Amino acid sequence: MTTVTRFAPSPTGRLHVGNIRTALHNWMLAKKAGGTFLLRIDDTDAQRSREEYVEAIRTDLEWLGIAADGEVRQSDRLALYERAFEALLEAGRVYPCYETQQELELKRKVRLGRGLPPVYDRGSLQLSEADCRAKEAEGISPHWRFRLDHETAISWEDGIRGSQKFDPAQLSDPVIRRADGSWLYMLPSAVDDLDMGVTDVLRGEDHVSNTAVQIQMFTALIAAQYQAQELPSFTHEALLVGSEGKLSKRLGSLGCDAFRERDIEPEAVIALMARLGTSLPVEPIADRKVLLDTFDLSTFGRAPARFDDAELERINTALVHKLDYADIASRLPEGMDASGWHAIRPNISTVGDAASWWRLVTGPIDACDFEEEDRSYLGRAAELLEWSPDPWSSLTSALKDETGRKGKALFLPLRRALTGMDHGPDMSELLLLIGEGRARERLRSASSS
């Protein structure tokens, strides 16, 4: 059977690191098996869904290089949910409820006070048809719940968590439809997974109880002959936490837009997220084939996965240092060629840093103050400078022989005069980029400062 996975974001905001990790792992699970990865836009919440977020989701996935093999939108599939609802209604698995939110909250508090689980007490199941008609005559529109089968235990073998068992009597019958007729998450998601042929559902562990409920929905839909298909396999991965060791509110706003603003490479995000929460080392791997070949659910642990900005930056820097000129030429400052990139690359953390280092070549540079002895030394350097395939070595050798200087005293005044800095790219490469005329002018200028 072909592996089919899906990523199902709601377009009510931008993708954050948790969403990105879920999308990536679903893509990897499908691609490693030669299967299909689908994007499903869960936009049944018309009030909160925004088209701008739909576009942002597509843009972010494209930037990350996570290409979907197909896309559907729940707002285009409302007729499917209606048919499923009618099938479940006929089978006696959904029922109308009339309690207000305040009444439900009061019931919850009463149950908690009695030491009972705070689940719905199924009060509306006691209403007769006449009671229901009377409620509706009063202008009270019902919301609808899925009736769990309390006689059938819920169990599955989770891809990460192992054997999972739930007593359905300890769960609330979930609301699947609001009083205004709109859909909540549970039923449309189950219907779509069946209709789209999803074979593997991989999502965060905050969905474990949802899975327990949806397993009964899948079973009920198949039994009602809505659609004949086997249930998907389920995997729940540990949630992300911040570097401080607890759930971080910041993770809820940290996404691709923030990464782009910081000039983080998408491959750095992928390299980190691919192995975050696994027993495999997080390494600066740009080759996705390597990441796919080593992707294995058995390496995932149940402990919270820790996201660390410093680790992302470390990986990003390492990957930037491996980038070929041809891959990023369009992102470099005007005039920087392959030799310029090679010279500057070891000193930068992001591609955007190249502009500030390229200024050492093009100028202007910051002027430095020199002692009289160093000014004389730099004046002599301007006279001794001769252009060759390696003018830096020639110049420093000549100055060493003539002045007896060595080490810091030999090199540092030259670097400061030529670049305005005490550190930076290898001077053998950088001097060639600066050029003979500009280099001599900077040495002369420093000798008279």
Q: What is the pLDDT tens value at each position of the chain, 449 positions in all?
A: 799 999 999 999 999 999 999 999 999 999 999 999 999 999 999 889 999 999 999 999 999 999 999 999 999 999 999 999 999 999 999 999 999 999 999 999 999 999 888 999 999 999 999 999 999 999 999 999 999 999 999 999 999 999 999 999 999 999 999 999 999 999 999 999 999 999 999 999 999 999 999 999 999 999 987 666 789 999 999 999 987 777 677 887 789 999 999 999 999 999 999 999 999 999 999 999 999 999 999 999 999 999 999 999 999 999 999 999 999 999 999 999 999 999 999 999 999 999 999 999 999 999 999 999 999 999 999 999 999 999 999 999 999 999 999 999 999 999 999 999 999 999 999 999 999 999 999 999 999 97
Q: What is the pTM of this model?
A: 0.91
* pLDDT at residue 357, as a whole number: 96
Joined tokens for residue 3: 């592996």
* pLDDT at residue 50, as a whole number: 95
State the SS3 of the chain: CCCEEEECCCCCCCCCHHHHHHHHHHHHHHHHCCCEEEEEECCCCCCCCCHHHHHHHHHHHHHHCCCCCEEEEHHHCHHHHHHHHHHHHHCCCEEEECCCHHHHHHHHHHHHHCCCCCCCCCHHHHCCHHHHHHHHHCCCCCEEEECCCCCCCEEEEECCCEEEEECHHHCCCCEEECCCCCECCHHHHHHHHHHCCCCEEEEEHHHHHHHHHHHHHHHHHHHCCCCCCCCCEEEEECCEECCCCCCCHHHHCCCHHHHHHCCCCHHHHHHHHHHCCECCCCCCCCCHHHHHHHCCHHHECCCCEECCHHHHHHHHHHHHCCCCHHHHHHHCCCCCCHHHHHHHHHHCCCHHHHHHHHHHHHCCCCCCCCCHHHHHHHHHHHHHCCCCCCHHHHHHHHHHHHHCCCCHHHHHHHHHHHHCCCCCCCHHHHHHHHCHHHHHHHHHHHHCC
Q: Which residues contact 335 (CB under 8 A, 6 or more apart)?
A: 358, 362
The domains found in the chain, sorted by start residue, are 241-320 (1.10.1160.10), 325-362 (no CATH), 372-447 (1.10.10.350)
